[in-house]
Amino acid sequence: MTMCDPNTTFKNINNIGDDYLLNILESNFKMFLDWSFLNIGGWFDVNVDQQNLYGGNPHAKLVPVEDPSYSTGQVWQSARKDWVWESTVSYNNSSPISISGVYLNDTLITDSYFINYPLGQIVLENPISTSTSVEVNYSYRFVQTYRANDAPWFNVLQFKSYYTDNKDIITKDEGEWSIGGYRRIQMPCIIIESLPRSRSLPYEIGSGGLLLEQDVMFYVLAENKNDRNKLLDILRLQQDSVIYLFDTNKVASDDRFPLDHNGSVVNNPLYYPNLVDQYKYRKCWFKNVSLVELTSNHPNLHTGAARLTAEIIFA
């Protein structure tokens, strides 16, 4: 078919179930940010034997959470969600903790459970008493990232999730800590949204290819100005960076996403650089990065946004 022949079906579209550019960008940018933050030391370790001013380490202690898919006493969650599964990453000769077991009343078990890394949960095969002491060594991300497209219809923006003296952490019958990790957004965080604003230019004569300029917004939410400013500066300094996108459709077709439907790590997981290398899609250039002020009516919520234009050759 030549360029002059009329189309009777969609151009460049093969399957209604596939991801296309907007969703591919959001997925790629999330994994790029997650991986990049780890490579500058963006995680915290939590150890059962750590002591603090208040005695013990509440972040190592898990609390039961009600999940309609499981029995009471099966699902246990930590104060901080978004556990690090990329345990082989290294920064300053240090790596995130690789979870090797769970302590039930100070007895280590190494099986009969699975780990939901994004939600920061241990899910046991069989329910146990909710008065059981459940503890685990883990690492969690300093910055949580979210795709706006995947955000559930209801979320709670959670403050003071770092405070180990927060007595609300062990309050599981009411309040924000009684809500599962899927509904809680902890700060600092970045929410990625592909905006319905773009520009398409012809790429070359006769090919039908396009040079796409797609605007993407990165919303930054933090509990203090220092974290907000730091994240905005990190995003701003990516001006003129070039990354390769990976093809999320091929990754899904080959079932090679590193986390399964339970949020657990699959066997031989592909890290972000592996996905880019094995499922290379198109090159993406970051340009026109600008910072945008956002208004917050909460005295402890500090917000801002970075808007950038992603330039991709779609041929």
Residue spans per domain, the chain? 21-38+189-314, 43-141+153-184
Residue 303's closest CA among 185, 214, 168, 194? 185
pLDDT at 202: 72
Using pLDDT thresholds of 50, 70 and 90, give the confidence band for residue 2: low
Q: State whether residue 278 is helix, strand or coil.
A: helix
pLDDT at 13: 86
pLDDT at 199: 87
Model confidence at 151: pLDDT above 50 = yes
Model confidence at 175: pLDDT above 60 = no
Q: State whether residue 47 is helix, strand or coil.
A: coil
Pick the CATH number of 21-38+189-314 from 3.30.70, 3.30.2000, 1.10.10, 1.10.3470: 3.30.2000
- What gap in Å lies between CA 12 and CA 9, rounded to an integer? 9
pLDDT at 129: 97
pLDDT at 157: 63
Sequence-distant (≥ 6) Cβ neighbours of residue 216 within 8 angstroms: 25, 26, 29, 192, 193, 194, 195, 307, 308, 309, 310
Quick one: average pLDDT of 133-157? Answer: 82
pTM surpassing 0.85? yes
Average pLDDT in the chain: 88
Instruction: Give the residue, 164 or 222, on which the prediction is more confident.
Output: 222
Q: Which two tokens stand for residue 315?
A: 């041929």
Quick one: average pLDDT of 19-29? Answer: 94
Model confidence at 23: pLDDT above 50 = yes
